[in-house]
Structure 1
Amino acid sequence: MLSSILETVMLICFGLSWPLNVIKNYKSKSAEAMSLPFILLVITGYIAGIVAKILNGHFNFVLAVYVINLLIVSVNIPIYFRNKKIETDKYETIRFEIIKNSDLPYEAVFGHKPYWNKDQIEQFKNK
């Protein structure tokens, strides 16, 4: 019984940090400080803990804490991809603004030949 209580205390301590992490990641709108492999590794650890509890027949409050922590950590996955999209959109907008406001050729800004034809690029520049 004491081991279950101590394990629950450990999980609660970890679990209290995850909602704060989710809020911070959501507000930052940046995936720069996030690591998808780390998130997936933590999720894998929680799944392993849940499966171990089930296989050992330990259906108690500790199992519930594992599940709650797993769900909270999992919220970081869609936030990661949302933040990546926000960053990509932001950088693309910056690149297009550079092209629009300068005489630099497309290749100088993007580092590759344009996917658009010259008419489409000129049309964008004239917006």
Structure 2
Amino acid sequence: MGEIFELGMVICFGISWPLSVYKSYKARTTLGKSLIFELFIWIGYVSAITGKLTTQNITYVFFFYILNIVMVSIDICLYFRNRRLDRLAGRIS
């Protein structure tokens, strides 16, 4: 039963990441984004994945952790692309 609730949490979080990646890609700016926030989320997913691996509790939920960390990683990469674009546009120093 606990796995079902864990899956629900991971899926709900996971739905938001493709939307965030799309918004970051289209916006071409870091304004309104927080790198620290995304890094904490990334660390949280690393912790969850490590927990699953160390307890050898690899279930279907594990796939969603991997999918989510990939999405967060893409969003972090877009942050750095957008930061460079902000500098070129003179929006930040």
TM-score by length of 1: 0.69
How far the C-alpha of 1:57 sits from its partner, in A, is: 1.0
Q: Which residue of 2 aligns with 1:43?
A: 42
Q: Which residue of 1 aligns with 2:69?
A: 70
State the identity %: 36
Runs of at least 4 residues off by over 6 Å: none
Q: Which residue of 2 aligns with 1:17?
A: 16
**Can you give the 5+ residue segments of structure 1 that lack an aligned partner in the other structure?**
93-127
CA distance in 1, matches of 2:21, 2:33: 10
CA distance in 1, matches of 2:20, 2:64: 17
Of structures 1 and 2, the larger Rg is shown by 1
Instruction: Give 3-state SS (helix, strand or coil) of 1:32's partner.
Output: coil
Question: Cα RMSD (Å) of the superposition?
Answer: 1.1
How many residue pairs get matched? 91
Q: Which residue of 2 aligns with 1:110?
A: none
Q: Which residue of 1 aligns with 2:53?
A: 54
TM-score by length of 2: 0.93
User: Larger RCO: Structure 1 or Structure 2 (Cα < 8 Å, ≥ 6 residues apart)?
Assistant: 2
CA distance in 2, matches of 1:55, 1:81: 32
How far the C-alpha of 1:8 sits from its partner, in A, is: 0.4
Q: Which residue of 2 aligns with 1:90?
A: 89
